[in-house]
Amino acid sequence: MATPQIVIIGPPGAGKGTQSSNIEEEYGVEHITTGDALRSNKDMDISYLDTEHDTPRAYMEAGELVPDVVVNEIVAEALSAADGFILDGYPRNLEQATELEEMTDLDMVLSLDVSREELIRRLTGRRVDPETGDIYHTEFNMPDDEEVQERLEQRDDDSREAVERRLDVFEDTTAPVVEHYRDYEGFVEIDGEQHPEDVWDEIKKAIDAHIDD
Ligand code: AMP
């Protein structure tokens, strides 16, 4: 496996973004994340699809999935330009998993497991610094600088209501994708409730073992 092609899957708040950045840095692959791509294109006009909402923003703020066609196109374009990747936030339903199988092959699927209670704690306490994009947490990690503290914002979809909805969507729609990959030889399940450094140790060992195979 020269430049690995990896999917990381798990509920919102499981630490996919953090671990994807570690993988990107360690293995020199591209971090492709549909959540960030959609956040940068929130107000794109998708009214031509004639679906429930006219922009990605409306789906995201409600904690619902953005229509497959929009997301599939973002991923297809990003994959065509990547030499090795860590794909984060996709596929989120079985249709997207089928679409991905047509686009490319995977070396590994990493599944992060975290309890619902812990996810609610992580997500509702999460705050973002709008100037730097740095992520903080009201309980675990606040900035020392009062000026930074004051400007912190909560992501619209980190409200308690949207978080509950996003976790329901994961359980109903994305958990079947995890089951779909479970018997696949590159599938590895990781306990995402550990300290992020311990999660990273486990992921790195799993990838290195797979590379050596
Ligand atoms: P994330 O940052 O991965 O939690 O994604 C934030 C929001 O973007 C999700 O709640 C969805 O509304 C949307 N989104 C991200 N990835 C996908 C996807 N693969 N399919 C549909 N919607 C997505």
CATH number, position 181: 3.40.50.300
Q: How many A from CA of 213 to the centre of ligand 1?
A: 33
Residue numbers of the domain that contains 127: 5-29+83-212
What's the gap in Å between 145 CA and the centre of ligand 1?
31
Q: Is residue 10 part of a domain?
A: yes
Q: Around Cβ 58, how many Cβ atoms within 10 Å?
A: 15
Assess if residue 115 is contained within a domain: yes
Which residues have any ligand 1 atom within 6 Å of their CB? 12, 34-35, 38, 59-60, 63-66, 71, 89-90, 92, 96, 157, 166
Residue 151 lies in a domain: yes
Q: Where are the beta strands (DSSP E) in the chain?
A: 5-9, 30-33, 85-88, 108-113, 126-128, 135-137, 187-191
Instruction: Render pLDDT for 53-68 as a digit per residue (tens, 0 to 9).
Output: 999 999 998 889 999 9
Write out the catalytic residue numbers: 16, 92, 126, 155, 166
151-170 pLDDT, tens digit each: 999 998 999 999 999 999 99
> Could you tell me if residue 52 is inside a domain?
no
Number of domains in the chain: 1
DSSP E strands in 43-113: the ranges are 85-88, 108-113
Compute, in angstroms, the gap from residue 134 CA to the centroid of ligand 1: 19
Which tokens is 193 given?
């409730």
Residue 1 has pLDDT above 90, yes or no: no
pLDDT tens for each residue of 11-50: 999 999 999 999 999 999 999 999 999 999 999 999 999 9
| Contact between residue 112 and residue 19 where contact means Cβ atoms under 8 Å apart | yes
Q: What is the mean pLDDT of residues 128-145?
A: 95
Q: Calculate the dihedral angle through the C-alpha atoms of 198, 175, 25, 202, rounding to the nearest 10 degrees.
A: 30
